[in-house]
Homo-oligomer: A and B are copies of this chain.
Amino acid sequence: MTIAGDLIRGHTDAIILAHLVKHDSYGYEINRDIQKKTLGKYEFKEATLYTAVRRLEQGGCITSYWGDESTGARRRYYAITELGRETYRSLIKDWETARALINNLIYVEDI
């Protein structure tokens, strides 16, 4: 909530990959983790989340498989690939570049 989509846009993939670096996971859990980490300040819209994982899978950054839940709703688990790991490292670099650039450009002394 409250965070404009355009400010996160371009980082959704990195956020998802960062989560999957730790362990395999499924959509809802990824979102719950983000909520927890941000103290409820942010979570993906479902459409955004599922669009993103599909994009990442198509791009070869993750693979997916159905969990064997004996109870509860079925879950589609995602696992990061080696390409996904490389992409993640690259996205971190991109973020650091962009962050420095923006910090450099949007602050002015006199306001």
Contact = CB atoms under 8 A, between A and B. Distances in A.
Nearest to A2: B97
B92 A15 contact: no
Interface residues of A, number: 39
A105 interface: yes
A9 B102 CA distance: 11
A107 to B, nearest CB: 7
A71 to B, nearest CB: 30
Ranked nearest first, the 8 interchain pairs of A and B with the lowest CB-CB distance are: A6-B10, A7-B98, A14-B106, A7-B10, A18-B106, A15-B105, A21-B108, A18-B108
Q: How many copies does the complex hold?
A: 2
B110 A18 contact: no
A64 to B, nearest CB: 20
A11 B98 CA distance: 10
A95 interface: yes
Contact of A92 (B7, B21, B107): B107
A32 interface: no
